[in-house]
């Protein structure tokens, strides 16, 4: 059957397909350590689950307003005021089915054919495909390990053309875990102030998972004059172990939010009513488990960095947050095992899955083939076991 050109060009999400491969091996009885997971491995906190059950019992199970219930919009505004120091009202908020849906709504609302979107690389796997689905052009700007994989002001300046409509900034980043501190943001803001037609999508979905006492900061907090051009993408998935509940939000200019809400009204209508009530509790209830989760990830990150430093010919930029790390394994490229040569991150990921029974995501999916993404959303014991197995497998490779 003929598929549309749009769908024929679409690449399936690499992270989801690695998970599927790992699960298939698991089902066949092979014990897999999954460093490929893109979600916290904890249960949703009990108070949030209870709020969901209460909402069902009290009959909150019908369509809601397309753009989300007022209670959740208010909770989002209160949270953003507390965490960003920025004031928004209900007219600035659209609640969608996850951060991914919030991004897609934004792209579909803002982008026309010929529009360019600047995507610093390494990037989250879905950005380029979502931009193409909106018939626009992703302009990939490579960022090097020397610069901790972060966008430099001069590279941003060079990438901007009269067709540039949007810049995507993801901090802290999936896959590198790097976060843009105030100085880096001010340098980027200086460039953006010179190009008033460029809008900014600030994907802050991991903002609660920061290490080393880092304080949250984003572009709109360091440069007031940019605030009207910034769209914040955030949600409850990563901060509250609520990936399956599918609640994210888009915050920004009311005219765009109204248009994006109209778009959502024709595609999905409202996100799940029960998930919305659960999210009200997540944002307004006890924050203890969210704080503890970030502390747990910080401990695991320390262990992961220690274990990476013990791997031969592997280098790594230390993450500032998230639960990902993005080490460079290119020192092993060109090596062989059982007649097979490791030519890039895809070969390496396959080799580690087969030889070490460890699932990782090839860096190619994030635009950087020298690296692989490891997620430490698994226990300390599994991290130890996984790295033991990776080290053993790497030692089998030879030139």
Ligand X SMILES: Cc1ncc(COP(=O)(O)O)c(C=O)c1O
Residues that bind ligand X (CB under 6 A): 38, 98-100, 124, 170, 174, 203, 205, 235, 237, 243, 248
| Residue placing its CB nearer to ligand X in the complex, 238 or 332 | 238
**Measured CA angle at 14 (ends 9, 15), to 5 deg:** 145
Instruction: Give which of 302, 277, 147 is closest to 211, Cα–Cα.
Output: 302
Nearer to ligand X, 84 or 245 (CB): 245
Q: Which CB sits closer to ligand X, 124 or 211?
A: 124
Cα gap 344→370, rounded to integer Å: 7
Residue with smaller CB distance to ligand X, 99 or 327: 99
Give the residue nearest to ligand X (CB). Answer: 98
Backbone dihedral region of 199: left (phi > 0), alpha (psi from -120 to 50 degrees) or beta?
Answer: beta
Q: Tell me the angle at which helices 46-57 and 273-284 cross, rounded to the nearest 10 degrees.
A: 140
Burial of 151 (0-12, 13-18, 19+ CB in 10 A): buried
Closer CB to ligand X, residue 170 or residue 273? 170
d(C-alpha 125, C-alpha 11), whole Å:
10
CB of 397 to ligand X, least distance (A): 30
Residue 149's CB is within 10 A of a number of other CB atoms, namely 23
Shortest Å, Cβ 379 to ligand X: 21
Token couple for 262? 């109209």
Which CB, 100 or 229, lies closer to ligand X?
A: 100
Q: Which long-range contacts (CB under 8 A, 24 or more apart) does 140-144 make?
A: 140/367, 142/367, 142/368
CA 387 to chain centre: 24
* Pairing label, strands 248-251, 164-170: unpaired
CB of residue 179 to ligand X, shortest distance in Å: 12
Minimum CB distance to ligand X, residue 97 (Å): 8
Least distance (Å) between residue 384 CB and ligand X: 25
Q: Which is nearer to ligand X, 11 or 396 (CB)?
A: 11
CB of residue 273 to ligand X, shortest distance in Å: 17
3-class DSSP state for residue 394?
A: helix
Strands in the chain per DSSP E? 33-34, 93-96, 116-121, 137-142, 164-170, 199-203, 230-235, 248-251, 324-325, 336-337, 340-341, 358-359, 361-362, 372-375
Q: How far is the CB of 1 from ligand X (least distance, A)?
A: 29
How many Å is the maximal CA-CA distance in the chain? 66
Tell me how far, at minimum, the Cβ of 173 lies from ligand X, in Å: 7
Q: How far is the CB of 124 from ligand X (least distance, A)?
A: 4
Output 119 or 356, the one with its CB closest to ligand X: 119
Among residues 105 and 330, whose Cβ is nearest to ligand X?
Answer: 105
């Amino acid at each position: 059957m003929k598929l549309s050109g749009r769908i024929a060009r679409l690449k399936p999400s690499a992270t989801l397909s690695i998970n599927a491969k790992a699960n298939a091996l698991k089902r066949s009885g092979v014990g897999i350590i999954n460093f490929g997971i893109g979600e916290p491995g904890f249960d949703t906190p009990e108070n949030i689950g209870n709020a969901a059950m209460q909402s069902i019992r009290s009959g909150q199970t019908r369509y809601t307003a397309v753009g989300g219930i007022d209670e959740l919009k208010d909770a989002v505004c209160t949270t953003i005021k507390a965490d960003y120091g920025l004031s928004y009202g209900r007219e600035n908020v659209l609640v969608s089915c996850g951060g991914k849906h919030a991004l897609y709504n934004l792209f579909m609302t803002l982008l026309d054919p010929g529009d360019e979107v600047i995507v610093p690389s390494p990037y989250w796997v879905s950005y380029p495909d979502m931009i193409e689905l909106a018939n626009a052009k992703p302009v990939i700007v490579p960022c090097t390990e020397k610069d901790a994989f972060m966008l430099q002001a001069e590279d941003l300046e060079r990438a901007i053309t009269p067709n540039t409509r949007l810049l995507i900034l993801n901090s802290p980043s999936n896959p590198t875990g790097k976060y843009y501190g105030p100085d880096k943001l001010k340098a980027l803001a200086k460039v953006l102030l010179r190009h008033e037609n460029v809008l900014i999508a600030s994907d802050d979905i991991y903002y609660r998972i920061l290490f080393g006492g880092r304080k949250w900061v984003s572009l709109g907090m360091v440069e007031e004059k940019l605030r009207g051009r910034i769209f914040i993408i955030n949600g409850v998935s990563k901060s509250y172990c609520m990936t399956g509940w599918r609640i994210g939000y888009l915050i920004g200019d009311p005219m765009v939010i109204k248009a994006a809400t109209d778009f959502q009204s024709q595609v999905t209508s409202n996100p799940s009513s029960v998930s919305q009530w659960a999210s009200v509790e997540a944002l307004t209830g006890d924050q203890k488990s969210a704080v503890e989760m970030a502390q747990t990830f910080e401990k695991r990150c320390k262990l992961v960095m220690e274990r990476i430093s013990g791997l031969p010919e592997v280098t790594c930029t230390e993450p500032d947050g998230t639960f990902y790390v993005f080490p460079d394994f290119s020192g092993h490229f060109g090596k062989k095992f059982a007649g097979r040569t490791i030519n890039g991150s895809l070969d390496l990921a396959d080799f580690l899955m087969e030889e070490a029974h460890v699932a990782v995501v090839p860096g190619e999916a994030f635009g950087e083939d020298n690296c692989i993404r490891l997620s430490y959303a698994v226990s300390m014991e599994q991290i130890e076991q996984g790295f033991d197995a990776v080290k053993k497998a790497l030692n089998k490779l030879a030139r």
